[in-house]
Amino acid sequence: MTGGYLAGGRACAASAGARSVDEILAAARARLDRLSPEEAFAACEAGATLIDIRPAAQRAAAGEIPGSVVIERNHLEWRLDPAGEARLPWVTGYDVRPIVFCEEGYTSSLAAAALQDLGLACATDVTGGYTAWQAAGLPTAHPAERTVAIAPGASPAYWPF
């Protein structure tokens, strides 16, 4: 990126140390012990929590993973910060194991790295996201079945609310 323009037509240059989204994604993934859908399923059976960060429209169109917790991306850090006032009741310490997924496994990598920055060292994501989970033949559900937990601030993917 070479720069852009500010209000009034003033030019602005990229800040020192600017990185492309591909570089940021690679750095995030280098920190994660990413899981295949099958590994994520097994980890959840052993006590990890599967976190769906997809917006309601994606969940409505593609489906949901039964037992997952829906925390849309814009609320994720607030709901999972063990020291935060807006945390979910079950986030009582830094030993929780969130496994984040999105539609294809890109945004979830950035989100899981952000959770590690909060001190949740076991945070990771699902390689290939919901698409890979579904392709692996693992359990999915139509949103109308209401098989997920909806965190405060997240929108359900079914109507009526």
- Rounded Cα distance between 100 and 120, Å, is 12
- Rounded Cα distance between 156 and 161, Å, is 7
- Rounded Cα distance between 43 and 58, Å, is 24
* pLDDT tens by residue, the chain, 161 residues: 456 777 777 777 888 889 999 999 999 999 999 999 999 999 999 999 999 999 999 999 999 999 999 999 999 999 999 999 999 999 999 999 999 999 999 999 999 999 999 999 999 999 999 999 999 999 999 999 999 999 999 998 876 54
pTM over 0.75: yes
- Rounded Cα distance between 141 and 148, Å, is 9
13, 15, 16, 21 alpha-carbon torsion, rounded to 10°: -110
